[in-house]
Structure 1
């Protein structure tokens, strides 16, 4: 089917202006919005539409201004920096070959609506590239909205998800909510939820108007008062679809580019990447492949014979072409691929399974790729009626086992830890993993994109992958992958292995060009994969009876808190109902509403309750109740249900590519969030136990981030405090308050501790005052004294901020980078947050690197021992093991030695290790 892409040029320009930093060229001309538009247009070109138009607002008033003289009257004038980029934008759009439409008397939306209607009537698929909510009224089968800033597509179901109404109700929805930016009246106090609720009940605006007298309360009064203006509101928000146009849809074709004009414009505005594309030898604009849905052909090209460790070929292949994929169902085909992987310089592999839980999933098939654009899929257990014969699972895996376990044969995957875990179920211990495209992207720039394959393919290859829902369906109708027909499964699964290899070809040269990033990738992230896989496979033993007992105790305490809350409120109410709580706190008790929800209602979230916890006992009771409820639902009730029936243990999933600073996170269950500040939270650790004859050993870095601060800042006072080996917070308090250490009071030590840790997270005097319960002046005085005694810390913080503004990123001690995009934001809060992150990231990131290095060293050491110790968990700065009782002393000494030796700092890297029958006792 032919496709028409309609670009909402006005939306493009404004969104790019507000989303990107205020860039300029060396001549001082503003270029930020222009840069964003050019990149979005280049992405559109890769889609190779049959028809395309760039639609922009024409200067002058429109028919809506004649209808209502206050229409858009409140809009501020276009900023000068933005206005200066309009003409250059149009010049570049024209030089790229895009037809430009600007029609006087109407808005760009009306032109887009008219073209969309015409194209739809002719059976042409329509994609509207915009961020404008008004255009949702045009959506229907064959017409979708695409937001190029977020890479999201909105079809009819997407409209319902976002707005709560059908596309044909959007006009009525907008008529009710109005628009403060465009000055569309609407119904005062009618927000999105109310509008959606009314339309769900009455269907249309006309039906609602006919029943307006049935709507109660103040909102009903607002509706009835607004009735005279609702027809005007509806006319203002309705997009015209009958604008007279000079040319038909089929005339909107991409014209020949004006290369010299583009070169001149790109050079003037210093768009280096665009210039590089323009000057490429083939002068092509990265064509995105037209996907052939029936493609599952043999890959006949011979594989390279080099056995270099993941080396790339001399001539890079095109990375955005359509792939050729072979469905392997015969022994002859399989033998051919065994020969290919035996001589390939790098083999990409991927598994298809029955579940995303790697510890409970069974393998369904396996895909391999040895060169970009070519891959195969070997189905193993597809079991739908009429499924063709497949090779035996055991036979295939036995034949591949020598390859997977040969450390000299380089392999790679996308999030390969999952596939390593899957293959471990069949007695295959994968060796020789050299690359992981997820981690290549993560190390290159952790914040540039999500690191799943679909996002990476879109960003680094300009390639749109097949989605799982496209082959297996959605929701209740989704089928297991084992029931997907083989041709479809081949296209999906083989593409995974192919795209993974293509991503390596796109990302590895970037890392090779940055030696420090390459070192982080090769020396920390890649070696950590088998460590985490081993921990996940082992799992941790849980005392289910202990958890059940704790659940009962938590339930009893929650009931007591409920009774206290009812007493404090003067009546019974549902503690889990924000609406009822809102009424009691703010209407009945008259407490101040210090925080509001997005709809303007008083908030009852945790932050809002903390803000008024000193004004009345009830907010604190609610917070305590919620804390216990969360412990019960997240841990004491849920952990027992998560015991794997195969192993009798709980197996978390560790994530390397999720936290920008380099921290490892975990999920299902999230071990990082088990609270330790409350007695109830600490008790949960009592359920993490060791088998009979074994104990739990927990080894924890002491004040690691503060020690890293001392090292990075080189502050003499802080270095001295750590070298003397005493209580660093007491030593800090003595410095700040001019006392001898033994004279420091508990409150003074608490203040020093708050400053020590708070400064690493950019805490302000206001935040410190709030934490210590003192006034802001006193907190400011504390901070001034601190910086006077520790000038090196202050100098480090200032230097780090300056370096972040200069380079756009900060680095850890080992060279990991954290990019901080909001450092140049116009929003002061976002900018301040980025500066705080700039100060904290080197410390938090270095701590993450250190414990990762420690895990790698400990894992290697454990591999040399008898089976008397297993590393089970990594939680923040702590490693947890189960150790046979007769090996405790030796293991404890060995773990401390390797953790302490994971980095060389100018202060001791202290590790504390404890032993017990459970995690709580050992901690």
Structure 2
């Protein structure tokens, strides 16, 4: 993932000025603050970000001065010694190649906030280099705060640890405590602990305001006296995330440094270490690109936290060979034949394996040594290359030998690439991505760059460093051979090194080793075969559905206009905000980070029962999403070579072990709406074939019965009847035949809700009853199914004791926030702990079923497994083989686990997926 570093220049200048002694140069010019900032900037450059910017306050008033004339009125003027260092600082920043951002009318915080939000939307990781506590409101899974002066990093957990509130509560926290430095009025005598306590209990500032009369003592009086000022305080401390900018995150690449000016500035201000680094850089043979075999220093992870190096030998530079002659090929073929384990990796023209051409292939058979065989580079003046087909023909017996163990990093992609050239890879023994995923799914991302940094302390060459980025990015086939060799051979080498670091960990825990060897690794070729086969799509059906969706969207648009009394843009949050909250006067339940009424899906759902317009908007958005994501898009991604749509399945992305998919995302096709179900009609079988869909029945509830051992729940499943009706009979104390529709619905909500940690409040909201009645339902449930409560309590205890819970098969599911001081976060982690064994076991079971079914299908040409969606497998079966395949699929899916209750499978057959479902 690309990285953007945003430096809060104003914050660091003041921080450095007050933190460092009053240094000066031989001319008597002050240099203390300048020295601190320059060191911070040099550390930032060593982190090699993809994009970066130095953001400083522009001269003149801002919109906050207009809102509140006393804003920052108490701040003393900038000391003369500090003011004298501003211009030299900006000169050095510019000479280093940093883009300098100063936007009139707003503060540096607002520019940083806007860029951070924009970068997240582009999939860019953001590090905000600051010491300003207000910035904590920007923290998210992809935005982290870094203080390079104290060498500390603050993520969501760090925000909670420091302030006692979540990042999304920081704005309200600051509004309550106020800020004496910026002269933001808060609640007198309300300190951080009091603010955190109130927000833990009432969640938001609006919640605190609404319950102000319940807070006693003098602090309660202070709160009630401050109520009129709190909305203004919230607005003053809210960082804007929508500043109109003439540039975006991807415009912030570092420019070439002006070494002559840097030398002059460093010499003038007597920065000897910086001068020495500048001299060393100029003397080096290559600053950005390094020669093959040259050592690459691993910089301290100033901006990303410490790195634990497991073995120094695994962090050393590699020795890589560019293979361009037949003699070299023959020598490597001999090495591959002798190797105990072959690490391999392919370089291609696209990340879409079904459309990509191979450019080259790399191998490693011992750590630190690897080769790259170029097969398809096509830049002007490229040296003569080996014949691609001849090399692949020579490698084919090695790849297809099941007795010759192989290793990859996300090997499924490489297997698919080689399948395009008639090579069926067999003998996959290890995958470093899956080793990391099984060892600890939540410890890190499982891409090579992240794994190398975490487990090896090694900084890999990034793809952007060899191929560029953005509009100027070139295909790997256009990368020169020497550069390509350094990058590609490193991939094979690091894959092997990662295996050497991770395999001993897995091998030391028999249960995890079993999950890895018996579930994850055997699943790789199964998923690869499914991706290669693809699914047939009826474009005419999709076109008709797009037209119908468009017509229905227009109708909803007209209804919304009629309800509002005038036309407005349903896709404009600003216009929708005005209609709902200004014109109709609806009470907003959720706010945006800037304190404005939110119009996102959650916010509209919260007010959907108060007026008909929010529901119309939700229905309109649902149809718009179906149209843009599926009915308009699916036909455009049909592979011209195969005539089919090929999704990508991901094993290492969901912590519980679930498989996900993308391009298209098959898991998100709705099944609860008629429009969503109709999309499945476009997934068809070819003439003479049919679609067969096999779906586990209530699998997570059955796993709950198995894990809890509750006699009542086991009895309900063994009876073979309607388990929700049986539960309702137990809860309401009436015969099953007398259970009403509402009683069954309540029992179903409890059965499924408990697995996700639903509270009485949540159940009440779902059933439309008061909280007391919902609490009574749950109490009756637990009295009839005491084993369920005992299981839930024991699971929570295990989670707190071990930091993880386990599936039936031994997969570990680590949980954050179990020890959080925040009750909401802690309870959320406990709810996840209860659900994870069910969801994770269900994931393991369907993976085992896929492996068993694929083994049975091997060699057959009358049936193919096409899709896996949640608890369902979808097949394409020749009409004359339906009965045989149905029986075999049911047998293997039912036998994928031995539970204390029957594992039932529902099967349907039809001309399309909807008919079969």
1:889 equivalent among 880, 883, 887: 883
Q: Which residue of 1 aligns with 2:552?
A: 557
Q: Report 1:51-130 matches (<5 A).
A: 103=21, 113-115=33-35
Q: Deviations over 1:884-916 (max 9, x none)?
A: 000100100000000000000000000111110
Partner residue of 2:273 out of 250, 258, 262: 250
Q: In structure 2, what is the Cα distance between the partners aligned to 1:514 and 1:321?
A: 28
Q: 2:912 matched to 1:918?
A: yes
1:776 corresponding residue in structure 2: 771
1:131-171 deviation digits (Å, cap 9, x = unpaired): xx9985476564889xxxxxxxx9xx999833889x9x999
Give SS of 1:435's match: strand
CA 1:905 to 1:331, structure 2 compared with 1: closer, same or farther past 3 Å? same
Q: Report whether the alignment pairs 1:818 with 2:772.
A: no
SS in 2 for 1:325: strand
Within 5 Å, give how 1:195-234 maps onto structure 2: 196-197=243-244
2:661 is paired with a residue whose SS is strand
Q: Is 1:659 matched up with 2:654?
A: yes
User: How far is the alpha carbon of 1:192 from its aligned partner?
Assistant: 4.1
* Deviation sequence 1:330-385 (CA, Å, 0-9, x none): 11111111111111111110000010001111101001111111111100110111
Q: Aligned partners of 1:808 and 1:548: how far apart in 2? A: 50
Distance 1:638 1:481 in 2: 27
Distance in 2 between residues matched to 1:770 and 1:671, nearest whole Å: 29
User: What secondary structure sits across from 1:855 in the alignment?
Assistant: helix
* Correspondences of 1:322-341 after superposition (within 5 Å): 322-341=317-336
Q: Contact (CA 8 Å) 2:22, 2:31: kept in 1 or not?
A: no
2:117, 2:866 → 1: CA distance? Answer: 45
In the alignment, structure 1 residue 876 sits paired with structure 2 residue 899: no
For 1:576, the equivalent position in structure 2 comes to 571
Distance 1:587 1:185 in 2: 30
Three-state SS of the structure 2 residue aligned to 1:841 is helix
Q: Which residue is equivalent to 1:91?
A: none
CA contact (8 A) 1:682 1:920 kept: yes
Q: In the alignment, which of 850, 855, 880 is matched to residue 855 of structure 1?
A: 850
Alpha carbons 1:56, 1:102 under 8 Å: kept? no
Distance 1:787 1:114 in 2: 66
Using the alignment, how far apart are the partners of 2:130 and 2:751 within structure 1?
A: 53
Asked if 2 retains the 8 angstrom alpha-carbon contact of 1:472 and 1:479, the reply is yes
Q: Which residue of 2 aligns with 1:706?
A: 701
1:128 and 1:503 map into 2 onto residues whose CA distance is 22
Alignment partner for residue 894 of structure 2, among 894, 900, 912?
900
Q: Distance in 2 between matches of 1:726 and 1:454?
A: 52
Task: Work out whether 1:161 is the aligned partner of 2:161.
Answer: no
**Residue matched to 1:184:** 182
Q: Is the 8 A contact 2:697 2:905 kept in 1?
A: yes
Alignment of structure 1 residues 545-694 onto 2, 5 Å: 545-694=540-689
Matched, 1:295 2:291: yes
2:836 and 2:385 mapped to 1: Cα distance?
A: 51
- Inter-CA distance 292–551: structure 2 relative to 1 (3 Å threshold): closer
Deviation per CA, 1:696-724: give whole Å up to 9, x if none: 00000000000000000000000000000
Please report how far the alpha carbon of residue 832 of structure 1 lies from its aligned counterpart in structure 2 after TM superposition. 1.4
| Distance in 1 (alpha carbons) for counterparts of 2:695 and 2:828 | 29
String of CA shifts for 1:718-750, please: whole Å, max 9, x gaps: 000000000000000000000000010000000
Q: After superposition, where does 1:163-562 map in structure 2 within 5 Å?
A: 183-185=181-183, 189=235, 192-193=239-240, 196-197=243-244, 249-250=272-273, 293-296=289-292, 318-562=313-557
Task: Give the gaps of 5 or more residues in structure 1.
Answer: 13-54, 64-100, 146-153, 202-241, 255-289, 300-314
Q: Is the 8 A contact 1:115 1:249 kept in 2?
A: no
Query: Number of residues paired by the alignment?
Result: 724
**How far did residue 826 of structure 1 move?**
2.3
- Whether the 8 Å contact between 2:526 and 2:850 is mirrored in structure 1 is yes
1:411/1:140 Cα in 2 relative to 1: closer, same or farther (>3 Å)? farther
CA distance in 2, matches of 1:473, 1:251: 28
Determine the C-alpha separation between the residues in 1 that align with 2:619 and 2:483. 52
- 8 Å contact kept, 2:294–2:317: no
Distance 1:336 1:544 in 2: 51
Structure 2 CA distance, aligned partners of 1:900 and 1:141? Answer: 67
Counterparts of 2:457 and 2:43, CA distance in 1 = 23
> Within the alignment, does 1:715 sit opposite 2:713 as a pair?
no
Q: Tell me the residue number matched to 1:209.
A: none
- Work out whether 1:846 is the aligned partner of 2:841: yes
Q: Aligned with 1:385: secondary structure?
A: coil
Partners of 2:762 and 2:407 in 1: CA distance? 46
CA distance in 1: counterparts of 2:784 and 2:588, whole angstroms: 40
Alpha-carbon distance, 1:293 to partner? 3.8
Question: Would the aligned equivalents of 1:547 and 1:687 in 2 still touch at CA under 8 Å?
Answer: yes
Quick check: 1:689–1:917 contact (8 Å CA) kept in 2? Answer: yes
Q: Structure 2: how far apart are the matches of 1:424 and 1:567?
A: 57
Once superposed, what is the RMSD of the aligned Cα atoms?
3.9
Q: How far does residue 821 in structure 1 lie from its aligned partner after superposition?
A: 1.8
Q: Distance in 1 between matches of 2:724 and 2:470?
A: 54
CA drift at 1:822: 1.1
Distance 1:125 1:760, change over 3 A: closer
Counterpart-to-counterpart distance in 2, 1:898 and 1:194:
53
Alignment CA distance shift 1:171-1:773 (3 Å)? closer
Shift of 1:610: 0.9
Aligned to 2:798: 803
Give, in angstroms, the shift of residue 193 of structure 1: 3.7
Structure 1 residues 720 and 198 mapped into 2: Cα distance closer, same or farther (>3 Å)? closer
- Deviation by residue 1:575-617 (Cα, 9 ceiling, x = unmatched): 1111111101000001110100111000111111111111111
Q: Aligned to 1:822, what secondary structure does the other structure show?
A: coil
Give how far 1:831 is off: 1.4
Distance 2:526 2:32 in 1: 54
Deviation at 1:825, TM superposition (A): 1.6
Given that 1:126 and 1:143 are in contact with CA atoms closer than 8 Å, whether structure 2 keeps it comes out as no
Distance 1:371 1:420 in 2: 21
Q: Secondary structure in 2 aligned to 1:396?
A: helix
Q: Distance in 2 between matches of 1:370 and 1:668?
A: 34
CA contact (8 A) 1:120 1:143 kept: no
Measure how far apart 1:115 and its partner are: 1.8
Shift of 1:642: 1.1
Q: How far apart are the structure 2 equivalents of 1:854 and 1:332?
A: 46
Asked if 1 retains the 8 angstrom alpha-carbon contact of 2:20 and 2:33, the reply is no
After superposition, the Cα gap between the structure-2 partners of 1:126 and 1:316, relative to the gap in structure 1 and judged at 3 Å, is closer
Contact 2:241-2:594 within 8 A present in 1 as well = no
* SS of residue paired to 2:864: strand
